[in-house]
Amino acid sequence: MTESNTDIIKKLTGIFEKTFADKSFSRGEKQAVAQLLEQDYKLDKEQRDLLRSKIFDIARQEVDRRGKAVVDWLETAAKLLINRGDTKVYFSPVSRCRQRIIDLLDNALSAVDICVFTISDDPIAAALLGCKKRGVKVRIITDDEKINDYGSDIKKLAAAGIPVRMDNSVHHMHHKFALFDKRRVLTGSYNWTRSVAEENQENILVTDDKQAVIAFRDEFERLWANMEPFVD
Q: Which residues are catalytic?
A: 174, 176, 181
- Reduced 3-state DSSP string for 39-102: HHCCCCHHHHHHHHHHHHHHHHCCCCCCHHHHHHHHHHHHHCCCCCCCEEEEEECCCHHHHHHH
How far is 214 from 193, CA to CA, in rounded Å? 27
Q: What angle separates helix 45-60 from helix 5-20, to the nearest 10 degrees?
A: 40
Please tell me the distance from the alpha carbon of residue 30 to that of residue 43, in angstroms, as a whole number.
Answer: 16
Taking a C-beta distance cutoff of 8 angstroms, is the pair 103, 175 a contact? no
Exposure on the CB side of residue 121, measured as CA atoms within 13 A: 24
Buried b / exposed e along 171-183 (16+ C-beta atoms within 10 A):
eebebbbbbbbee
Q: Within 13 Å and on the Cβ side, how many CA atoms surround 148?
A: 5
**Angle (CA) 19 211 228, round 5°:** 140
**Amino acid code (one letter) for 15:** I
